[in-house]
């Protein structure tokens, strides 16, 4: 009995010490916030401002971007916010953005702290820090030169040919269908081919395992609102690794992630054994860089996710915008008549990338509906001053992209789809268009995504007219519970331009 009591006493002591630690580690940063001299909602001791964020999202249909709209109206373009114990400074001030992303990049070289990540993403370039990130970036950047992207455009042509055949069948059937799902299968096939050198067969085979697991992963992406484990990890980051371990093993999304990672590992190990290192894809570059197999697999998984969801989402929203604005759709279709025979892929790539109106549609679609609304975030790694605010090491910075893209000061009539904004001849105000971020830590695959978007959209509109279904003609249902912006479906009717 005395031994039991002693163990119980020790256990209670450790629990009490843990509670004291939690309280003090939250109290002092929250109390110190007042010395920053910027406004913000008062945080709760353990939750920070998570309850406020949850309340706003419960009222608006779980739209994260709307949280920042509401708080901007209350506090202005720069304010403080606590995600659990972590202090974020949210800013839309352009000079702040310029300083953080470019001028003082060495003070903000890391992305935000993200504890609730699997090993696959935690160890990939997207989450790497300091010199490790710089080393990986130097290894990966050569995969996205103009010459490499031109070579990879052949894969986009091959897969888009299958995509167009499927659209032709739908045109003959004269039925409404969900083109968003088809875009996802297309972009997954392209990234599998370009990055990994294998055919996923996602377009013709709707039961393709890669398509199933990728869709399942994104459909069940955890957010604090619908995942108790992620909610705990945000409130108590110290236990996030345990929560993430449980999530990976208990959730369907975690199981899909494990399936995809293992499939990629088999492909990569097969490539290494077969000494296939002379192909024009990302895997060959990583293998030739003598990176450890685990690092190659983790970066491959990150590229798979980035190349799959964001580009398909951008194409889906652009399709809706063009279907809703028939005059813009026809103006673009007329410009596309100048393109060469699509079989001459290099000529096609060179011309499609320089079409002014297609470029304007691309930029305006991403301005209105950026696939990622809250990922251009940084961590202060060395104390400095920006905009009169003293940033201590560890402070997080968040840039709400949706708000910046719809700021009427920079974009007159910001909710209107007007590609002509990018044809005016006036120089664009820097740092007002940020779908891929900016500065040294901007998206390494930006030019690849642009190439894929433009070729797919150009080839589609050259051959077909887009007609929206009545259910989405006037209003598009949006989903934004995490940083990803999405919509349930884009239901359209396809009409051949040759008929």
CB 448 within 8 A of CB 149: yes
Closest C-alpha to 393, from 128, 121, 127, 109: 109
DSSP SS3 for 390: strand
| d(C-alpha 33, C-alpha 21), whole Å | 19
CB 109 within 8 A of CB 128: no
Structure tokens at 92: 């839309």
| d(C-alpha 196, C-alpha 140), whole Å | 14
Q: Looking at the DSSP assignment, which residues form a beta bridge with residue 486? A: 479
CB atoms inside a 10 Å sphere around CB 178: 15
| d(C-alpha 43, C-alpha 168), whole Å | 55
Q: Residues near 147 by Cβ (< 8 Å), separated by ≥ 6?
A: none
What number of H helices and E strands is found in the chain? 20, 9
CB 275 within 8 A of CB 251: no
| d(C-alpha 182, C-alpha 185), whole Å | 5
Q: Residues near 490 by Cβ (< 8 Å), separated by ≥ 6?
A: 178, 179, 180, 316, 317, 319, 320, 472
208 labeled part of a ligand binding site: no
CB 189 within 8 A of CB 201: yes
CB 435 within 8 A of CB 376: no
E strands along 311-457, which residues? 377-379, 384-386, 389-391, 396-398
CB 348 within 8 A of CB 338: no
Q: Looking at the DSSP assignment, which residues form a beta bridge with residue 389? A: 386
| d(C-alpha 488, C-alpha 316), whole Å | 10
Residues tagged in the binding site annotation for heme: 443
**Which residue positions form the known binding site?**
443
């Amino acid at each position: 009995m005395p031994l039991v009591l002693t163990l119980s006493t020790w256990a209670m002591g450790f629990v009490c010490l843990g509670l004291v630690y939690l309280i003090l580690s939250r109290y002092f940063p929250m109390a110190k916030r007042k010395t920053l001299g910027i406004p913000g909602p008062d945080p709760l001791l353990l939750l920070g401002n998570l309850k406020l964020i949850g309340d706003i999202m419960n009222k608006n249909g779980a739209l994260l971007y709307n949280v920042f709209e509401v708080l901007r109206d209350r506090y202005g373009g720069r304010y403080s916010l606590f995600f659990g114990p972590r202090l974020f400074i949210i800013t839309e001030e352009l000079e702040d953005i310029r300083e953080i992303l470019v001028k003082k990049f060495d003070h903000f070289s890391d992305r935000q702290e993200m504890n609730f990540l699997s090993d696959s993403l935690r160890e990939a370039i997207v989450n790497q820090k300091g010199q490790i990130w710089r080393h990986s970036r130097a290894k990966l950047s050569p995969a996205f030169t103009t010459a490499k992207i031109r070579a990879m455009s052949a894969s986009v042509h091959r897969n888009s040919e299958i995509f167009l055949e499927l659209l032709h069948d739908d045109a003959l059937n004269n039925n409404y269908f969900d083109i968003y799902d088809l875009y996802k299968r297309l972009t997954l096939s392209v990234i599998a081919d370009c990055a990994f050198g294998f055919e996923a067969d996602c377009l013709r085979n709707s039961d393709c395992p890669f398509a199933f697991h990728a869709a399942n992963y994104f459909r069940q992406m955890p957010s604090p609102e619908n995942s108790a484990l992620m909610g705990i990890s945000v409130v108590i980051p110290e236990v996030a690794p345990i929560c993430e371990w449980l999530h990976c093993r208990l959730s369907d999304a975690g199981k899909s992630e494990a399936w995809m990672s293992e499939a990629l590992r088999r492909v990569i190990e097969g490539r290494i054994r077969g000494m296939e290192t002379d192909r024009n894809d990302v895997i060959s570059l990583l293998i030739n860089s003598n990176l450890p197999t685990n690092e190659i697999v983790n970066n491959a998984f990150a590229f798979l996710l980035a190349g799959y969801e964001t580009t398909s989402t951008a194409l889906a929203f652009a399709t809706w915008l063009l279907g809703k604005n028939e005059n813009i759709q026809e103006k673009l279709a007329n410009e596309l008549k100048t393109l060469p025979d699509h079989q001459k892929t290099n000529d096609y790539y060179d011309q499609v990338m320089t079409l002014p109106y297609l470029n304007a549609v691309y930029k305006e679609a991403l301005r209105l509906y950026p696939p990622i609304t809250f990922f251009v975030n940084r961590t202060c790694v060395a104390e400095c001053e920006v905009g009169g605010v003293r940033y201590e090491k560890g402070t997080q910075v968040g840039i709400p992209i949706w708000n910046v893209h719809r700021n009427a000061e920079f974009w007159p009539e910001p909710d209107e789809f007007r590609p002509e904004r990018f044809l005016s001849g006036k120089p664009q105000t820097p740092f007002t268009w940020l779908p891929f971020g900016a500065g040294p830590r901007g998206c390494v695959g930006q030019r690849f995504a642009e190439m894929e978007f433009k070729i797919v959209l150009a080839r589609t509109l050259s051959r077909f007219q887009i007609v929206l279904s009545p259910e989405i003609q006037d209003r598009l249902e949006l989903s934004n519970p995490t940083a990803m912006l999405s919509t349930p479906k884009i239901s359209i009717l396809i009409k051949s331009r040759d008929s």
